[in-house]
Amino acid sequence: MAEAHQAVAFQFTVTPEGVDFRLSREVLKHIYLSGIRSWKKRLIRIKNGIIRGVYPGSPTSWLVVVMATVGSSYYNLDISMGLVYYIQRWLPEGRPSRTPYTRTLFSMAIFSTGVWMMGIFFFRQTLKLLLSYHGWMFEMHGQTSHLTRVWAVCVRLLSSRRPMLYSFQTSLPKLPVPSVPATVHRYLESVEHLLDDEQYYRMETLAKEFEEKTAPRLQKYLVLKSWWATNYVSDWWEEYVYLRGRNPLMVNSNYYVMDLVLVKNTDVQAARLGNVVHAMITYRRKLDREEIKPVMALGLVPMCSWQMERMFNTTRIPGKDTDVLQHLPDSRHVAVYHKGRFFKVWLYEGSRLLKPRDLEMQFQRILDDPSPPQPGEERLAALTAGGRVEWAQARQAFFGSGKNKAALDAIERAAFFVALDEESHHYDPEDEASLSLYGKALLHGNCYNRWFDKSFTLISFKNGQLGLNTEHAWADAPIIGHLWEFVLGTDSFHLGYAETGHCLGKPNPVLPPPQRLEWDIPEQCQAVIESSYQVAKALADDVELYCFQFLPFGKGLIKKCRTSPDAFVQIALQLAHFRDRGKFCLTYEASMTRMFREGRTETVRSCTRESTAFVQAMMQGHHLNKDLQHLFRKAAEKHQNMYRLAMTGAGIDRHLFCLYVVSKYLGVESPFLAEVLSEPWRLSTSQIAQFQIRMFDPNKYPKHLGAGGGFGPVADDGYGVSYMIAGEDTIFFHVSSKFSSSETNAQRFGNQIRQALLDIANLFQVPKADG
């Protein structure tokens, strides 16, 4: 094969005259260029490390301090208060400092550098102290206090210099450990209305016993960890919630993200991939160079960027007891799946990133390749969709050497995974079921055409529609959303397409074709693959997914009700759930804790006493609108307060989770913690972030909307609900449940959500759009 010959840098033959060497100039050229590129990346990282390390200082500010010190000496002013003279005395006498003038300059430079570094340390500590203030979050909209205004000015002054992606990392405060009494009190408050008197008395007794006897010892260890570790939650959360899970990743852990659904740039599958893959690698280059601006709340408060480090070149490696995340500093290829075959596509020619038209050509070559799958190859990826123990055992037994190891390495060491599907999916507003079918294809596909272990799989349908399936352990949804917004904006407004639908420019036909991966899969391994496929297929067939666009109103009308859009939707979910199931349940809403270093998520227990009081009043049907409005606003205010507490480190569940981990390490039994951690989340919800990057003006291009994404139900007899308040006039919902549960029905619940939103809006008598 041509690519095999090109992979050989030199050959030699032994002859009677000696050894005859034959060098491949082309390969040596590529090796040379690869080395140059690697050294460039190292130098960029060193430069970025220095610039980031001295932020908010800069080389210019250092020069100013040096010039001030030197300049003051000409006016016989000693701003060092004798320190320059003291430093000069300790300088060794040698050739570099043989004259008094040179020794004085050296002393001034050392003094100035010390003052400059002390200034940087002072500014950083001041910024960290300022960022620890969260009072601004609890103030009513339009009622900013004088303290908060002064705080905002100080934060803006200290962060005014253009930051790099990780410039604020060391200035972010640590996630605080709440006090045990506060956490226990908030927990009991969150379940009191969900339990009868006897159940609540029992839980209150367990909680009191835990607080007085067990918790103080556990809390001491947790506080000690918070002093030592960067974040007292994140490493344990990643390990015990994600990596130690032995159930299939598909449906249970991975989630999906949809494409733009109301506009279409091209119908050409390979062309769309060419632009999008090019945009993704451009984003990765910006990520490596730290050229991406950190996300700022209100344009002022920096969010932690730590999770972005493992976006690319990352794979979850299965283990018998626990998985591990393998992250590589770089990768020059992507792995591609099409019609049961795996390919390796190079992203660079030497040190140059391939242009979109070249990438389109490479993907089209794969689409045109008529070769059949090798034995066992077609359903190989089902191993990543089945149980983790079975996959770990198969990996160790059949993929540890030879062709299989080389091919598996090509997939696991790829920048990301690309799936070229033969079917078409898109959202047709005239056919509501089309959005649900599109979501199902992204969530699990046919159970063997996604590599669920990769940080993300880019899915391309035959009609040019795209989507993502994302592994959850390495980061949370807003992180992949940041990438996706950049990619879709770059594809639509910067790269563009020719009138024929192809990428702009001309391809380079001399590029070597994609490399077909070679496998040697024995029958025993094929049996394991089939077993994993059956497990995955049963899981996928059991998932009911109902996705819909809610058209009557969006955040525009909700704001007229003078409430938070998220609180509005969450209270509507409580009303819908009660109508659907006839009871309330423990409800999970994910919030972020990225205002703290290495923060991830916290739980908002959104089924509150206030929201249940509102729902019960709505169900009774005889209350006046003004009374219902009052109850609704109380519920909304409570929800917003719970959300703010979660964001500022005063949540309930992460603290209890970490106390539980400490108890397991110490061998301490806690009936209270065991019961809390075993409570099922029968309604799991999440709002999808949007417009983290201003790639375009949404008011100018209102049709450029993604539909968000979704996930599988957390409980077998529960619902999973994600929603994106996509604009002023629309909301997208993704509702999941399991067919095997006789108590749940995703479409039925979706219809209840629709009606609940309309009923709450009617309370405020605000005109709505038709639909």
Nearest CA-CA partner of 655 in 684, 638, 675, 676: 676
Residue 411 near residue 395, CB atoms below 8 Å: no
Is residue 472 annotated as part of the catalytic site, yes or no? yes
Integer Cα distance of 545 and 663 in angstroms:
38
Kindly report the number of other CB atoms within 10 A of residue 19's CB atom: 8
Phi, psi at 27, each rounded to 5°: -70, -40
Instruction: Write the CA distances from 98 to 88, 92, 109, integer angstroms.
Output: 12, 9, 16
DSSP assignment string, 636-686: HHHHHHHHHHHHTT--SHHHHHHHHHHHHHHT---HHHHHHHH---SEEEE
Which residues fall within 8 angstroms of residue 350, CB to CB, at 6 or more apart? 29, 30, 33, 34, 37
**Cα first-last separation, the chain:** 59
Please state the three-class secondary structure of 500-534 as a single string: CCCECCCCCCCCCCCEECCCCCCHHHHHHHHHHHH
Beta partners for 347?
Answer: none
Adjacent-strand bridge partners of 467: 258, 459
CB atoms within 10 A of CB 675: 14
Report d(CA 237, CA 598) in Å as an integer. Answer: 12
Joined tokens for residue 358 = 């070249």
Phi, psi of 328 (to 5 degrees): -105, 150
Distance separating alpha carbons of residues 369 and 339, to the nearest angstrom: 10
Angle at 258 between CA 534 and CA 430, to 5 degrees: 100
DSSP code at position 74? H
266: enclosing H helix or E strand: none
Both tokens of residue 521? 């899969």
How many CB atoms neighbour CB 268 within 10 A?
Answer: 20
H helix or E strand, kind and range, residue 730: none
**What is the radius of gyration, based on Cα positions, of the chain?**
29
Dist. CA 333–CA 351, nearest whole Å: 13
Catalytic residue among 333, 472, 639, 704: 472
Q: How far apart are CA 370 and CA 335, in angstroms?
A: 18
- Asked whether 447 and 536 are in contact (CB, 8 A), the reply is yes
Residue 649 CA neighbour count, 13 Å, CB half: 23
Of 97, 101, 99, 109, nearest in space to 68 by CA: 109
Q: Regarding beta strands 466-470 and 515-516, do their DSSP bridges make them parallel or antiparallel, or are they unpaired?
A: unpaired
**Cα–Cα dist 288/166, whole Å:** 11
CB 200 within 8 A of CB 675: no
* One-character DSSP codes across 424-436: ----BTTBTHHHH
> Dihedrals φ, ψ of 574, to 5°?
-65, -45
Q: Report which of 209, 226, 244, 179 is spatially closest to residue 656, judged by C-alpha positions.
A: 179
Residues with catalytic roles: 472
